């Protein structure tokens, strides 16, 4: 009777599983048949998560540079004394989207209450924050509007710029199932993906023009007067739509007007429709998310069963981490730190004033060498390649808190170990707002502390104890401060496969799909700025993140079979690769796996060629941070890289 129910903590799908636990070791995995999200299915990562949980590549003892292994007490004292040397503006906390809600809440509380800093942010791309901003501005909900269970109820399904079957395979399989059952599945992307191959309609747009495509569909709907014009700010939105160059849409985006009309017509006729786009590992810009959302608002596909504007998180607790306020300007539940009422509520609960200076993300602080950053606390760094290595090296103080060994440890002055997620209780919020409890399944394999307990100890060392007796206490505090989590408690969660917030005391079953009180159009910030190829730089280079994120994922390197499967491409292209179409390969004069030099205006890199039909002529596709050389190239374009899925760089590809 050693199979214990739990939640898979690889990606944001939040599948249910059982772990076979014997003493302190995990010896097998089995899916949970009745789990509402996964329905008895797991992907290659989920089926082999026990390999990660059995790894011996753990941090097992606190460590202080120049002192070696020390006790927790000594390490904490060192951490506290180091951080106390600096002003709040000089300290930053780098939270992990893989940490549980309780751990992230405690960290946020430590940063704001104890060290008085608003410099707290997540180790994830900005994409999900863009999604939350748009959805909050449009509906008041900072999370997925739809529900994964509703995929089968949607008549029209749109996947935008996302290799969803590779990134979130179980959601991908649900879309596959719906498509086979009669739903119209449409993929809009710049590259052929597995989901595109199974779609009834694949719309191939030029890189960087997805926003215009969605606006063109909305333009067509508005022109035909099919749209729902009752949402707020419609007049401003209409003015914006007038700027869409519909007459030259094919030239601008590569999409035929007939294709635009097809999607528009089917979207309007359907009773229910949902859209899925990547958010997190590889997100979209604010304006693109706004365009997608606005289209669904105009089509009247907000707040109904089977409908949803659905950002898909690639990391397991990305949604939950934002819910816990791990952002410079957010408190829990997307309450703004600038909102006087929310701030007062927290100050009353915590008994002290919160910092008021405008915080910055760690990415901002690290990328700007003139920033005041001097001390950084990193939790569970996931990337296998350390960005900003030089900057980290130059910081006077770096602390690392994590369960598994990785390269960031080398930069740390203090290292503090924590438990894995099966060694303590914790909740995780999946991409559809489902808060799930992963109960403790075994005692810690090594003498390590849960993170929420460690944070409490650090706070106590600063004479501001949090007095948590259990992870359940942390959730109770979260519930007391967060309207969307108001009704959530361990007592409730232990009987269910999670609850989708908003969950109030009157609404214990949670909310499957969000019905906003008011729907507003969300106006974009910037005009269209699609990058164009030039004579000197004739190829548009796309950056792939989702599909290859797991290559360099630190915890993936602690497994065997998932590592083998995700590293398959690396074995063939050890120097990294750039994927191009067969026609382009012929023109350049190269064959598969031949070396080339990719030259852009600000940087260049060497890579191998992958010849693929998935890439359209005139475009190229390079995986993100797959090799140091590629990492250096992309760092020169970090402003473009931050655009996520739509990042496009004009390049020249030379045979060497």
* Residues near other proteins (CB under 8 A): 1-3, 5, 18, 20, 26-34, 40-44, 46-48, 50-51, 54-58, 60, 165, 169-170, 172-174, 176-177, 180, 194, 197-198, 446, 497, 560-561, 564-565, 568, 571-572
Residue 429 and residue 319 in contact, taking contact as beta carbons nearer than 8 Å: yes
Shortest Å, Cβ 67 to other proteins:
20
How far is Cα 316 from Cα 103, in angstroms, rounded to an integer? 14
Shortest Å, Cβ 351 to other proteins:
38
Shortest Å, Cβ 421 to other proteins:
17
How far is Cα 637 from Cα 647, in angstroms, rounded to an integer? 9
Q: Which residue lies nearer to other proteins by CB, 51 or 265?
A: 51
Question: What is the number of helices (H) and of strands (E) in the chain?
Answer: 26, 24
How far is Cα 381 from Cα 402, in angstroms, rounded to an integer? 8
How far is Cα 300 from Cα 471, in angstroms, rounded to an integer? 41
| HSE (side-chain half, CA atoms, 13 Å) at 269 | 8
Shortest Å, Cβ 41 to other proteins:
4
Q: Which residue lies nearer to other proteins by CB, 40 or 396?
A: 40
- CA-to-CA dists, residue 507 to 142, 296, 484, 500, 504, angstroms: 18, 27, 10, 10, 5
Shortest Å, Cβ 404 to other proteins:
12
Q: Which residue lies nearer to other proteins by CB, 32 or 440?
A: 32
Bridge partners of 375?
Answer: 91, 397
Residue 164 and residue 312 in contact, taking contact as beta carbons nearer than 8 Å: yes
Shortest Å, Cβ 353 to other proteins:
43
Letter string b/e over residues 289-304, b meaning 16 or more CB atoms within 10 A of that residue's CB:
bbbbbbbbbbbbbbbb
Q: Position of tokens 């959730």?
A: 475
Shortest Å, Cβ 40 to other proteins:
5
- Burial (CB < 10 A; 0-12, 13-18, 19+), residue 392, is middle
Q: Which residue lies nearer to other proteins by CB, 61 or 271?
A: 61
Shortest Å, Cβ 177 to other proteins:
6
Q: What is the 3-state secondary structure (H, E, C) of 360-377?
A: CCHHHHHHCCCCCCCEEE
Q: Which two tokens stand for residue 597?
A: 């030099």
Q: Which two tokens stand for residue 287?
A: 């304006």
Shortest Å, Cβ 510 to other proteins:
18
How far is Cα 283 from Cα 281, in angstroms, rounded to an integer? 6
| HSE (side-chain half, CA atoms, 13 Å) at 495 | 6
Total residues found in the chain within this entry: 656
DSSP for 124-167?
S-THHHHHHHHHHHHHS--S-SS-GGGGGG-SEEEEES--HHHH
Q: Which residue lies nearer to other proteins by CB, 83 or 170?
A: 170
How far is Cα 133 from Cα 556, in angstroms, rounded to an integer? 30
Shortest Å, Cβ 494 to other proteins:
8
Residue 278 and residue 546 in contact, taking contact as beta carbons nearer than 8 Å: yes
Shortest Å, Cβ 287 to other proteins:
32
Q: Which residue lies nearer to other proteins by CB, 56 or 341?
A: 56
Q: Which residue lies nearer to other proteins by CB, 226 or 446?
A: 446
Residue 442 and residue 24 in contact, taking contact as beta carbons nearer than 8 Å: yes
Q: Which residue lies nearer to other proteins by CB, 246 or 446?
A: 446
Q: Which two tokens stand for residue 475?
A: 């959730």
Residue 176 and residue 19 in contact, taking contact as beta carbons nearer than 8 Å: no
Q: Which residue lies nearer to other proteins by CB, 4 or 354?
A: 4
Q: Which residue lies nearer to other proteins by CB, 46 or 227?
A: 46
Q: Which residue lies nearer to other proteins by CB, 12 or 127?
A: 12
Residue 319 and residue 333 in contact, taking contact as beta carbons nearer than 8 Å: no
Q: Which residue lies nearer to other proteins by CB, 357 or 560?
A: 560
Shortest Å, Cβ 102 to other proteins:
21
Q: Which residue lies nearer to other proteins by CB, 180 or 348?
A: 180
Shortest Å, Cβ 34 to other proteins:
6
Q: What is the 3-state secondary structure (H, E, C) of 198-217?
A: CCCEEEECCCCCHHHHHHHH
């Amino acid at each position: 009777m050693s199979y214990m129910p739990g939640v898979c903590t690889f990606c944001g799908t939040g599948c249910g599983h059982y772990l076979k636990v014997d003493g302190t070791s995990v010896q097998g995995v089995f899916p949970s048949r009745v789990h509402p999200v996964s329905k008895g299915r797991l992907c290659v990562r989920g089926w082999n998560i026990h390999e990660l949980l059995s790894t011996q590549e753990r941090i097992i003892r606190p460590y202080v540079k120049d002192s070696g292994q020390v006790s927790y007490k000594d390490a904490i004292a060192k951490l506290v004394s180091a951080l106390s040397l600096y002003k709040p503006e000089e300290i930053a906390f780098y939270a992990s989207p893989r940490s549980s809600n309780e751990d992230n809440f405690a960290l946020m509380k430590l940063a704001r209450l104890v060290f008085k800093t608003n410099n707290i942010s997540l180790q994830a791309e900005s994409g999900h924050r863009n999604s939350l901003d748009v959805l909050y501005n449009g509906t008041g909900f900072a999370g997925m509007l739809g529900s994964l269970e509703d995929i089968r109820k949607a008549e029209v399904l749109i996947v935008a710029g996302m290799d969803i079957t590779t990134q979130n395979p179980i959601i991908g399989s649900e879309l596959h199932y719906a498509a086979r059952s009669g739903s119209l599945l449409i993929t809009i992307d710049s590259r052929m993906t597995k989901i595109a191959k199974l779609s009834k309609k694949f719309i191939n747009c030029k890189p960087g023009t997805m926003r215009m495509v969605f606006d063109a569909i909305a333009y067509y709907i508005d022109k035909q007067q099919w749209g729902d014009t009752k949402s707020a700010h419609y007049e401003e939105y209409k003015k914006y739509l007038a700027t869409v160059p519909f007459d030259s849409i094919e030239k601008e985006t590569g999409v035929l007007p007939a294709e635009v009309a097809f999607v528009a017509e089917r979207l309007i006729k359907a009773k229910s429709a949902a859209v899925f786009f990547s958010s997190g590992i590889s997100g979209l810009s604010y304006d693109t998310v706004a365009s997608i959302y606005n289209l669904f608002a105009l089509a009247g596909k907000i707040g109904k069963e089977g409908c949803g504007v659905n950002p898909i998180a690639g990391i397991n607790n990305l949604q939950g981490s934002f819910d816990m306020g791990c952002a410079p300007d957010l408190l829990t539940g997307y309450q703004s730190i600038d909102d006087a009422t929310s701030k007062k509520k927290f100050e009353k609960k915590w008994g002290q004033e919160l910092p008021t200076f405008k915080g910055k993300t760690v990415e901002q602080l690290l990328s700007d060498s003139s920033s005041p950053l001097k001390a950084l606390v990193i939790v569970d760094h996931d990337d296998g390649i350390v960005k900003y290595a030089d900057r980290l090296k130059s910081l006077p103080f770096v602390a690392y808190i994590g369960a598994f060994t990785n390269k960031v440890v080398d930069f740390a002055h203090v290292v503090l170990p924590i438990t894995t997620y099966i060694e303590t209780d914790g909740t995780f919020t999946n991409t559809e707002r489902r808060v799930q409890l992963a109960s403790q399944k075994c005692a810690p394999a090594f003498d390590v502390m849960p993170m929420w307990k460690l944070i409490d100890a650090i706070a106590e060392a600063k004479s501001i104890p949090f007095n948590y007796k259990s992870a359940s206490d942390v959730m109770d505090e979260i519930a007391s401060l967060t309207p969307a989590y108001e009704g959530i408690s361990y007592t409730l969660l232990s009987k269910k496969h999670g609850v989708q917030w908003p969950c109030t005391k009157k609404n214990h079953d949670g909310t499957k799909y969000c019905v906003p009180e008011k729907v507003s159009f969300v106006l974009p910030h910037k005009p269209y700025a699609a990058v164009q190829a030039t004579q000197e730089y004739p190829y548009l280079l796309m950056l792939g993140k989702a599909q290859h994120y797991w290559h360099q994922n630190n915890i993936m390197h602690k497994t065997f079979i998932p590592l083998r499967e995700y590293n398959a491409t690396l074995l063939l292209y050890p120097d990294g690769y750039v994927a191009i179409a067969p026609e382009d390969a012929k023109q350049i004069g190269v064959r598969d796996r031949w070396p080339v030099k990719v030259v852009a205006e600000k940087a260049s890199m060497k890579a191998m060629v992958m010849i693929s039909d998935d890439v359209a002529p005139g475009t190229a596709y390079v995986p993100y941070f797959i090799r140091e050389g590629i990492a250096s190239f992309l760092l020169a374009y970090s402003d473009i890289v931050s655009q996520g899925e739509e990042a496009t760089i004009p390049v020249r590809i030379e045979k060497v």
